[in-house]
Amino acid sequence: TGEFETILVETRGRVGWIQLNRPEALNALNSTLATELGAAVTAFDADEQIGCIVLTGSERAFAAGADIKEMADKSVRDMSISSPFVGLEALARARTPIIAAVSGFALGGGCELAMSCDVILAADTAKFGQPEITLGVIPGIGGTQRLTRAIGYYKAAELVLTGRMMGAEEAERAGLVSRVVPAADLADEAMAVAESIAGKSLPVAFAAKEALRASQESGLAEGLRFEKQAFVSLFALDDQKEGMAAFREKRAPHFTGR
């Protein structure tokens, strides 16, 4: 649609599709892009017709990080009073599951953006890394926290301290990426996973995501309590009755989101 300058947004059935579109800067995240991406995610998240969001970039780059040129001369005050990246917090806040479909570079803020999503699919060309240390800074949009949880302290520490990139295969082995596919198949594969998620009961998918997120944000005991509460509450839904009836009757369920 024409309403955005730095992203392309379209609805594909029940899937909200967002493509980062700053080819001249390898999709580097500037404040406009962060704001527009936040707005697009928030709009899809509020739309009951949307059951999954896909975030992707170009063949060459998912996103090569925060926009270094925009950031270079900022002061501490600039960065703290009006962080250019508040818009990106919409991703972690969204109830709707989000898939990152990564081809090419996912570096710095780009890797952090992928980690703000729920599923990361990678083209065999994908390259992940947190190179901030080579610029005299450190990750600032969750990299030190989410990468350590995703791949463990020691591997994350090596990546953050050296700034080196890891390829798609290594990222899959490390557990950052759920699947590696040929670059030419990435969009189709992302769409297939998104349609699978969007075909589930919306409130149930929301509950699943919220419980998954709790595992990252709380201790085990608190997370287990949260999960049990969410699980029990789903028995108030028609979709729970329908899903289990369909299983017994050996047919596909018809979810209504009720």
Identity of residue 86: V
Give 102's strand partners: 122
Residue 239 interacts with ligand CO8 (CB under 6 A)? no
> Pick the catalytic residue: 51, 87, 108, 109?
109
Query: Nearest-CA neighbor of 88 among 6, 25, 169, 159?
Result: 6
- Tallying the residues shown for the chain, one arrives at 258
Phi-psi region of 104 (alpha: psi -120 to 50; beta: other; left: phi over 0): left
The Cα angle at residue 44 between residues 106 and 96, in degrees rounded to 5: 70
Residues 43-74 as b or e (16 or more Cβ within 10 Å = b): ebbeeeebbbbbbbbbeebbbbbbbbebbeee
In whole angstroms, how close is the CB of 76 to ligand CO8 at the nearest point?
11
Find all residues with CB under 8 Å of 246, minimum gap 6, and list them. 252, 253, 254
The rounded distance, in Å, linking the Cα atoms of 238 and 179 is: 33
Of 16, 51, 57, 65, the one binding ligand CO8 (CB under 6 A) is 65
Residue 37 interacts with ligand CO8 (CB under 6 A)? no
Of 8, 39, 43, 68, the one binding ligand CO8 (CB under 6 A) is 68
Residue 109 interacts with ligand CO8 (CB under 6 A)? yes
Residue 28 interacts with ligand CO8 (CB under 6 A)? yes
- To the query of whether residue 170 is one of the catalytic residues in this protein, the response is no
- To the query of whether residue 132 is one of the catalytic residues in this protein, the response is yes
Of 7, 25, 90, 115, the one binding ligand CO8 (CB under 6 A) is 25
Asked whether 6 and 16 are in contact (CB, 8 A), the reply is no
In whole angstroms, how close is the CB of 70 to ligand CO8 at the nearest point?
7
Of 18, 141, 177, 202, the one binding ligand CO8 (CB under 6 A) is 141
- To the query of whether residue 242 is one of the catalytic residues in this protein, the response is no
Of 46-54, 58-66, 152-160, 247-255: span binding ligand CO8 (CB under 6 A): 58-66
| Residue position matching structure tokens 């201790």 | 219
Question: By CB under 6 A, how many residues form the interface with ligand CO8?
Answer: 22
Residue 156 interacts with ligand CO8 (CB under 6 A)? no
In whole angstroms, how close is the CB of 226 to ligand CO8 at the nearest point?
28
What positions carry a catalytic annotation? 66, 109, 112, 132
- Applying CB under 6 A, the residues found at the interface with ligand CO8 are 25-26, 28, 64-69, 79, 83, 85, 105, 107-109, 131-132, 135, 139-141
